[in-house]
Chains A and B, each alone.
Chain A
Amino acid sequence: MKDIRWDKLDNTANLFPVIAREGMSNVYRVAVNLKENIDGELLQEALNLVLPFFDVFNMKMKRGLFWYYFETNEKPAPKVHEEDTFPCAYINPYNNNDYQFRVTYYKKRINLEVFHALTDGNGAFLFLKELTYQYLRLMHEELKRPELDKLSATTSLDSEDSYLENYKTKAKKGYKTEKAVIVKGESFTMGQYGVVQGYINLQDIKRVAKSYGVTINQYIVGVFTYAIYKGFLKGKPSKKPISTCVPVNLRPYFESETTKNFFAVVSAVFKPTKESYTFEEVLGEIKDSLNTQIDKDNLEKLFSYNVSNQMNYMLRAFPLFLKNIGMKIAYYSSAKANTGTLTNLGVVKVDEPYADYIDSFYALLSMSKGQNIKGAVCSYGDTLVFSMSQGIKEMDVPKAFFRQLAKDGIGLEIETNGVCYE
């Protein structure tokens, strides 16, 4: 009999099973818009073919006495079905063949929804792209080739824990506990939230960012902060800062190609101490705040503290339920330290023959404790898609966000999930 393949959770992944529950699913979505309607049965077939190649997804999570761990899932792939809930709903593995991700479709769109313990957005895009390629190969005669049903050459299958490979010992506490502005309002019933997406002209936003002397990333975080300042604080001074979590993909900094989680979170901080700031002033502060944090040394410090805890022999010997209590306390005490999250997944590149069939990609985050507003960005071709999700009914922040883009003369098309019109 062959031995069972198993794997540890990566360093950040350890937190997610502890805090995940209905209403705070820690599930995010990556999706692709094709130019044609999706056939559910073919999509299921494509998933069945692709899944065995992806160790990170082909897993079930088990509970040991001291740690959670992954074990190869021998059940058939989860059932592909039409989208019938709000995005990023809680995944109960018991009803999902023990898998921690789901694949759904709606009209022309394929959704991949992933529990964050498996991997981050960059890892999820690799899987979504292969799934899409396979689906298109099944669907279109002209794409069928001799090397059918193999992964594309550029897809990494490396599943190392890059945190462990790259951490430096002796790091100080990485997460902060100073309280930030919390966006409050009338909340939705559990599991529901508003989605407002902007399909943005990439060339326009490039030009505008350049004219302000910032990168696209800094510009978007700047507009996001400004939108909270204008839309929620109504341009008034505040004792607490607006602090936005900005996850940084660590793969390019540490030459990793892992398909597991590998990111660190920096905070873009803006504290409105005086009356009325202009957009340029806010953007300037955000630019400085990000510039001081995003360099290799600082990023290394950020994750080394968590890793050194994980490596500590004393802490390792605590039973899992005690570890979980500790992690919950740390998580909830730092939950109010951030106003929102904005993640930029960068440019999605697609292999040549498939590009003609793909319209756009997007990513979408779910709500977490204390953070009622989040944004996710990715770009493909000439379009950058900004997806804002929010746990409150008031539309002031997304309105302020897109108004600023429109004011800067950026070509923009908006789509919502409808709940905010009620």
Chain B
Amino acid sequence: MSSCRKCGIGIRDESKVCPLCGAPLEMGDTAHETSGYPDVSPSIKKMQLAVKIIIFSSVVAEIVMIIVNIFTKSDYPWSALAGVGLVFGCFTFTFSFRNNRSLQRKLVIETFATVIVIFVVNAVVGYGSWGLTIGAPAAVAAFDIALVCLMLSEIRHYRLYIFGQVFMVALSVILAIVCLVRKESFYWVCVGTAMFTIIVLAGMIVFGGRQATGELKRRFRV
């Protein structure tokens, strides 16, 4: 341990000057040493850099496309469509390609994102309400099948997937209700998906027994 005579204090780290007054230190014994701190040099996070690059190049690409779209006097808003794709791609890359969330959460969030993208594309492209009647429910059904596969692969922890399934039920039931309220003639995909998710959830609860109901009680405790 070194010391500063001017301030009358001891210095335990490897500094050559006094942290209080800047005067050079007198070296002393090494009897009373503590451990100090490791030298942690700030590491550049590769992932953050990659995210920045991808978002930046997407924005540039989108601007270029909008300009081309306008100057070619095209009636078709294809740049908007490409923009939706880019936003979705960036979102998926920053959100789901990182190793910091459980697969289940990624799946649920991606489901929501996909449904939104389908609605936006439908609004841009037109051709009736195919987004609501086919696109969105088909996406929900596909993601729900993925969720079920994930659960089966980890059947010991099936309990963890009940809450994700509840979200799938909520989403598909909302879609089905909107479909019926709008009196869409092509409603059976929506209704079918809702029934599918409900049956899966019911199955999880019935076969899960007390563990499953306990899980639901905790998740929905007010």
Please, which residues of chain B bring their CB within 8 A of the CB of A107?
Answer: 35-36
Instruction: Decide if A19 is an interface residue (CB 8 Å cutoff).
Output: no
Stretch at the interface among B6-14, B189-197, B199-207: B6-14
Q: How close is A38's CB to chain B, nearest CB, in angstroms? A: 9
A405 and B154 alpha carbons, distance in the complex (Å): 59
Task: State how many residues of chain A have any CB contact under 8 Å with chain B.
Answer: 50
Stretch at the interface among A139-147, A189-197, A246-254: A189-197
Please, which residues of chain B bring their CB within 8 A of the CB of A4?
Answer: 211, 214-215
Do the beta carbons of A418 and B39 come within 8 Å of each other? yes
Please, which residues of chain B bring their CB within 8 A of the CB of A199?
Answer: 10, 12, 34
Do the beta carbons of A64 and B20 come within 8 Å of each other? no
Q: How close is A100's CB to chain B, nearest CB, in angstroms? A: 15
Instruction: Decide if B182 is an interface residue (CB 8 Å cutoff).
Output: no
Do the beta carbons of B221 and A420 come within 8 Å of each other? no
Q: A414-B12, A416-B15 are in contact. Are A33 and B35 (CB under 8 A)?
A: yes
A106 and B12 alpha carbons, distance in the complex (Å): 15
Please, which residues of chain B bring their CB within 8 A of the CB of A108?
Answer: 34-35
Instruction: Decide if B77 is an interface residue (CB 8 Å cutoff).
Output: no
Please, which residues of chain B bring their CB within 8 A of the CB of A359?
Answer: 34
A65 and B216 alpha carbons, distance in the complex (Å): 10
Do the beta carbons of B10 and A414 come within 8 Å of each other? yes
Please, which residues of chain B bring their CB within 8 A of the CB of A148?
Answer: none
Please, which residues of chain A bring their CB within 8 A of the CB of B215?
Answer: 4
Instruction: Decide if A360 is an interface residue (CB 8 Å cutoff).
Output: yes
Sample of 5 further A-B pairs with CB below 8 A, known A94-B99, A106-B36, A106-B37: A4-B211, A66-B222, A84-B40, A106-B38, A416-B19
A residues apposed to B, CB below 8 Å = 1, 3-4, 6, 33, 62, 64-67, 69, 71, 82-87, 92, 94-95, 106-109, 189, 192, 195-196, 199, 316-317, 359-360, 395, 398-399, 402-403, 406, 409, 412-418, 420-421
A85's nearest neighbour on chain B, judged by CB, is B40
Please, which residues of chain A bring their CB within 8 A of the CB of B101?
Answer: 94
Do the beta carbons of A412 and B10 come within 8 Å of each other? yes
A420 and B17 alpha carbons, distance in the complex (Å): 12
Listed by A's residue number, 13 A-B pairs whose Cβ atoms lie within 8 Å are A62-B219, A66-B221, A85-B40, A94-B100, A192-B40, A199-B10, A199-B12, A409-B8, A413-B1, A413-B9, A413-B32, A415-B12, A418-B37
Do the beta carbons of A406 and B9 come within 8 Å of each other? yes
Do the beta carbons of B210 and A415 come within 8 Å of each other? no
Q: Can you list, as one digit per residue, whether each of B118-141 has a CB less than 8 Å from chain A (1) or not (0)?
A: 000000000000000000000000
Instruction: Decide if B73 is an interface residue (CB 8 Å cutoff).
Output: no
Do the beta carbons of B19 and A420 come within 8 Å of each other? yes
Do the beta carbons of A417 and B37 come within 8 Å of each other? yes
